[in-house]
Structure formats: structure tokens, C-alpha cells
Amino acid sequence: MRRQIPLALVFIFGVFMIFQYFVPHESSEWIYEFLLDWIYIIGIFALALGIWSLIRVSVAKIKARKADWEYPVITLAGLFLMILFGFTGYRDGSLGFHFMTAEGLSNPMFRNFFDYIMIPIQSTMFALLAFFIASAAYRAFRARNILASLLLVAALVVMLRFNPYLGPVGTIIADTASWLLNVPNLAAKRAIIIGIGLGMVATALKIILGIERGYMGKG
């Protein structure tokens, strides 16, 4: 029963969500929205599970004094500080003691930690990533054959389209770059999206029909 019940639920709700799209009735729409609300509920439990998993793994590394065990300490400190600063207290005039109310993004310390710590860290990571991208692009764009040469020329045209010092030539380059982005590039993107969509449909059908059972774990 531990395996049959989840498989039955996945099959029933999967088939319903497929056919509901083709049933233009108010009751069908209401059930659809009701099931979507459960996604938020499941997501909250998944978030709690992820936080507990992070705490457990970090504490295990700290206790074992594994390599770079200081980083889990910083991770846990940041986690609990952001949770703490997501709440703030206020004094009720009639009762005379503090309540905790969720202010979230409006909390000053929460915003300061995000604006002056998180954003600089993200900027640093993206700045370092730019050098890796440039290095990888140099290796990929070397004109070893015709296809690599076409890729190199297209990349140069797209990168030069915002150059303000090219004058009339810049207009031609900008038009060429727009054509590259809107015709061959867009055609390739649509082909990739169609392929991804077909893969998603195939995977969904395998899950609904019980062929793919990896989500149930090893048990």
C-alpha cells in the first residue's frame, strides 16, 4: 500500500489536470484552483524540509570538524539572522508587552543585510563569472572550421551592435544583429523549446502511468 496509494494519487490527479484544461465549466475551474492552492502548502513543507536538511548537514560538518567547517557556521548564522530580522516587535499600548509581527522586506535590518551583503556578494560572483565566460568563449569561438567561424562572426556582430563609435556602420551591424537574433537564433530557440516540451510530456506520461518511480525514493 505504501507504493500503490502514491501511484494511484499521481495517476488520478495527473489525468484530471490534463482533462481539466479541456472542460470549460465553473466547477472544473474551482477544483483546478483548489488543487493549485495545495501547491503552495506542499511548497511550504518542502521549504521546511530543505531548511531542516541544511541545518542537519551543516551541524554534522561542524561537529566532525571537516574541511572548511567554518563556512557552515556562517551559513547557519546567516540563515537564523535573516529569519530573525524577518520579524520585528512592537509594543501594544493596552497590554504593555511586545508582539512579534511579520514585516518581512520592510524590516530595516533585513533590507540592510540584503542590500549591503547579499547584493555585493552576487555582484562579485557575476563579475568573476564574466571572466570564465570570456575564457570559455575564446576557446569556443576559435575558427577551427566553417561552423566555428560562423559562430565567431555572429558573436562579434551581436557584441558590436551597441558600440556608439561605429557611425553609419553601426546601423548596419545593429540591423544584422537584430536579424541574427530574430531569425536563425529564434528558430533554434523554438526548436529547443519544442524539444523540451516533448520531453516534459513524455516524462509526465511516464510518471502518471507509473513507469517512472524515482520520485518515490529507493523504498
User: Concatenated DSSP letters for 13-46?
Assistant: HHHHHHHHTT---HHHHHHHHHHHHHHHHHHHHH
The list of the chain residues with pLDDT below 70 reads: 1, 87-106, 141, 143, 217-219
Question: Rounded to an integer, what is the distance from CA 40 to the centroid of its chain?
Answer: 16
pLDDT of residue 97: 46
Q: What integer pLDDT is reported at residue 188 of this predicted model?
A: 92
Any idea which residue has 541544511 for its cell? 54
Nearest to 17 by CA among 42, 38, 48, 3: 38
Closest C-alpha among 87, 63, 88, 89 to residue 76:
63
Cell representation of residue 45: 513543507
pLDDT in tens, 62-109: 988 888 888 999 989 988 888 877 766 555 555 544 545 555 666 777
Question: What's residue 129's pLDDT?
Answer: 86
